[in-house]
Structure 1
Amino acid sequence: MNFIQSSKNPQVKQWKKLLTKKERSKTGQYLIEGFHLVEEALKHQGTVVELMALQDIDIPNAWDLNEISITYLSEDAAKAISDTESPQGIFAVCLEPKTNVDASSVKKVLMIDSVQDPGNLGTMIRTADAAGLDLVILGEGSADLYNPKVLRSAQGSHFHLNVVRGSIAEWIEDFSGHGLPVYGTSLENGEPFSQTPANGTFALIVGNEGSGVSKDLLEKTDKNLYIPIHGQSESLNVAVAAGILMYYLRG
């Protein structure tokens, strides 16, 4: 059994670095925390590299650890790598998946343009999972996919559907070439979403919390949609709007 007492241990410092985008990009690894996320990750063979737990934590017998190494930590060491206010004392290092997706193989897609709030991003990934989408595409300018707050908000949906980073403009061309309708979200030159027939095939673009979808992308869509506001609010939260549209368009 491996045990680390000091928060200044080199291995602890390395795990802590995975809380930064720079280290995640460098290593292709990321850190998850909490029983639910670790359990979901373990269901996907080859995802978890190593497991870390507080010394008095009981690891569930049902977990298939498949010879995954376990390191037990003192409270100080666990606190050093925690990113939550109420740590559960269980962590794992995971490998970023290598995902190749053919545009012709997907029918329900969410594309995210410059959404910067990690909570919004994670909520949209979780909602896309719940709505049965095939793919989420994360465009430039958005929060990092493996930011700890994104991971917590997504509640394990990273492990359930394909999420890729890429150029939304290039994906639009690919989808259009395969006959998949592409919908932007915009009040300008848009129409109420309920006027568009929902047939279960779509690529939906949602955009930045303040400025929305970029004009360059909106010019490439088949149609732009908006959700009517019936009260006095100026707008809907982007994650809420995305959820309404995904569930509507899937039919």
Structure 2
Amino acid sequence: MKRIESAKNPRVKQWKKLYTKKGREQANAFIIEGPHLVEEAIKNNVSIIEVIVEEEYQVPSAWTIEAAEWYYVPRKVMEGISDTETPQGIAAVCEMINDSEVEVQKGKYLLIDGVQDPGNVGTMIRTADSAGLDGVILGKGTADLYNSKVLRSTQGSVFHLPILKGDLTSYIERFKEINVPVIGTALEGGESFLNNQGLSEFALIVGNEGKGMDKALLEQCDQALYIPIYGKAESLNVAVAAGILLYGIQNQR
């Protein structure tokens, strides 16, 4: 167990770099904060490289973290490496999760096309987990999975199901090969999800907050759905819309 007193320590500087995409890619690692995320990482056998503990924080005795280096730091150092206004006393550096070899099979998937807000992306991953999906696929232009706000917004769901990245066109082709319906989202040319029959298998695509789905991707879909708006709002938040659709299209009777 090591102790670090100074915010200028090289180790601290390295941890701070993990809040940038470049830093994460160079280290093949990401940082999580707070007891809930750390506990979820432990439960799901995520490879934890380092644990950073504020000196007065009491680590739960039930936690078993093998092969990790432990560092104790004072409050001022923890504040310096935290991405939140109020640090929760513990953080951990984890090895990036390799889901790249996971091949999609028949099931239920959420495809995210160019959604840039990390809070929305994290919320959709959490919602997909709650709705019993088999995986989430992040397309080009979507917020980075290991962005700290994405991770916090998932509330640990990032560790519960496969999360893939890549060209959505290739994934659409794969879903069509295995006869999984590909469902787009669009106000124009779409039909109300309320008229849709319940599906046990699907690949639902949601698009950018402002522009919606990429038109080229929309043209490849088997159908497009929209959510009726009864009030005066022009649109729904993309994460809210995804939640309604993920539950709605598999539970219609």
TM-score by length of 2: 0.96
Overall identity of the aligned pairs, in %: 54
- TM-align CA RMSD: 1.0
Q: Shift of the alpha carbon at 1:37? A: 0.3
- Provide, for residues 217-243 of structure 1, a one-character-per-residue CA deviation record: whole Å limited to 9, x for no partner: 000000000000011111110000000
Letter paired with 1:235:
S
Tell me if structure 1 keeps the 8 A contact 2:106–2:178.
no
Superposed counterparts of 1:106-145, under 5 Å? 106-145=106-145
Say whether 1:82 aligns with 2:82. Answer: yes
1:201 touches 1:249 (CA, 8 Å); kept in 2?
no
Pairwise CA distance, 1:67? 4.1
User: How far 1:199 moved relative to its partner?
Assistant: 2.1
Matched residue type, 2:111 = M
Question: How does 1:148-163 map onto structure 2 within 5 Å?
Answer: 148-163=148-163
Q: What's the counterpart of residue 93 of structure 1?
A: 93
Equivalent position amino acid for 1:152 in 2: R
Off by >4 Å, runs of 4+ in structure 1: none
Q: After TM superposition, list the pairs within 5 Å mapping 1:1-251 onto structure 2.
A: 1-99=1-99, 100-103=101-104, 105-251=105-251
Q: Give 1:55 shift.
A: 0.9
Q: Is contact 1:125-1:136 (8 Å) kept?
A: yes
CA drift at 1:46: 4.5
Distance in structure 2 (CA, Å) of the matches to 1:92 and 1:180:
38
Q: How far apart, in 2, do the equivalents of 1:82 and 1:51 lie?
A: 13
Report deviation, 1:106.
Answer: 3.7
The structural deviation recorded for 1:124 is 0.2
Contact 1:108 1:250 in 2 (8 A): no
- Displacement after TM superposition at 1:173 (Å): 0.4
Alpha-carbon separation, structure 2, partners of 1:132 and 1:172? 20
In structure 2, stretches of 5+ residues that fail to align are none
**Preserved CA contact (<8 Å) 1:187 1:225:** yes
Distance 1:190 1:75 in 2: 53
Structure 2 distance, partners of 1:55, 1:139, is 41
Query: Taking structure 1 as the reference length, what is the TM-score of the superposition?
Result: 0.97
Mapped partners of 1:207, 1:151: distance in 2: 20
Please state how far the C-alpha of 1:201 moved relative to its aligned partner: 0.7
Deviations 1:130-150 (A, max 9, x none): 001001000000111110000
How far is the alpha carbon of 1:28 from its aligned partner?
Answer: 1.4
Number of equivalenced pairs: 250
Distance 1:116 1:125 in 2: 14
Q: 1-side partners of 2:166 and 2:11: how far apart?
A: 32
Deviations 1:98-146 (A, max 9, x none): 112222x241000000001011000000000000100100000011111
> Could you give the per-residue CA deviations for residues 200-229 of structure 1, whole angstroms, max 9, x where no partner exists?
110000000000001000000000000000
Contact kept? 1:106, 1:135, Cα under 8 Å: no
CA deviation vs aligned residue, 1:53-96 (integer Å, no higher than 9, x gap): 10111100011122422110112211111000111110000111
